[in-house]
Amino acid sequence: MDFLADPNSLPEIFVVGPAEINPFGASADVPQLFTEHTFQYEDTLSINWESRGLQMGGESRRNIENSVFDVSTRGSFYFYGLGEFVLDEPTFQFSAFDPEALAESPSECVQSGFNCNWEFPDMHRRFRNWELGFFLSDDWKIAPRFTLNCGFRYDLYGAPTEIQDRLSN
């Protein structure tokens, strides 16, 4: 499911303290875009003769997820009381970039040696993993009212990877 924000909406704003107001503006947790694909192949072979039945098979599954989770690119502002809100002096603010970098021109940034990252970090993630499973089953009808069933199954769930090596915990 995708979660989008109106590009014309305000960033997330909190007014706390003596005159608390419910948060308003677009959540800092948007946009969130998730696209998932699963490719699966499976097959089973059954062999029956006299009083025995043998089944074997397997499956492979390729999971692909491409996502964008641009947390804090819109910013959040916290004001303690209405006074700070009216004066536009937030107690605390955060974003995916340094807001002081926007106050300086690019030439001043370079001359001051300040790291002015004018672009948001790339929050696109492309996760991949494999899942494999194999089984073998043997049914043996020993007597008219007794059938012995033996078998095993092995499943391997591969660790997720990220194609641009941006996987983190």
Alpha helix positions (H), 15-105 = 81-87, 99-103
Mean pLDDT by 10 residues, the chain (169 residues): 60 71 71 89 95 96 89 70 70 58 52 54 86 97 93 96 83
Q: Where are the beta strands (DSSP E) in the chain?
A: 12-16, 21-24, 32-49, 52-69, 76-80, 92-94, 124-143, 146-157, 161-162
- Both structure tokens of 113: 């040696």
What pLDDT shows up at residue 72?
64
What pLDDT shows up at residue 19?
65
What pLDDT shows up at residue 106?
52
Using CA atoms, how far apart are residues 73 and 27, in angstroms rounded to an integer?
A: 10
Residue from 5, 10, 38 nearest 23 by CA: 10
How far is the CA of 89 from the CAs of 53, 69, 77, 84, in angstroms? Answer: 77, 28, 9, 5
What pLDDT shows up at residue 4?
59
What pLDDT shows up at residue 88?
73
Domain boundaries, the chain: 12-162
What pLDDT shows up at residue 12?
74
What pLDDT shows up at residue 138?
96
- Strand bridging mode 161-162 / 21-24: unpaired
